[in-house]
Amino acid sequence: MWGFAVIAFALIVSSFSEGEILLLLFLWNDVTIFITEIKCPTVTKSLMTPKLREQILEFHNHKRAKLASGLENNKNGKLPGAKNMYKLVGSDCFLEEFGDMLYS
């Protein structure tokens, strides 16, 4: 289930600061992803809905903007800002496909 994948990811990164996790997510997503529709046609057993995908995208972009602005703390102060950290405009479905694979 998706819950298992989320718990496994949380255990892996539990020792990371919030800023380090955001940086990891940024590197995972590269610079930006352009997809016109937020849906994953290859995923058959997903518990994700278009509304939930949109909420996750909005949350991610909020945190990403905070990191890009240099407002994110780490254990030594603030993380540096970023010039070219673009807003995500869609989902690449990779994690959802991975969760679907674990769920099957």
The torsion region of residue 77 among left (phi > 0), alpha (psi -120 to 50) and beta comes to left
Q: Is 33 exposed, middle or buried (0-12, 13-18, 19+ CB in 10 A)?
A: middle
pLDDT in tens, 49-79: 777 778 888 888 888 888 888 888 888 888 8
Band the pLDDT of 45: cuts 50, 70, 90.
low
Band the pLDDT of 83: cuts 50, 70, 90.
confident
1 or 26, which is more confident: 26
Between the ranges 25-34, 58-67, 95-104, where is the mean pLDDT highest?
Answer: 58-67
**Predicted TM-score of the model (pTM):** 0.50
Please name every residue paired with 74 in a beta bridge, in sequence order, or none if there are none.
Answer: 77
Instruction: Tell me how far apart the alpha carbons of residues 75 and 98 are, in angstroms, rounded to a whole number.
Output: 32
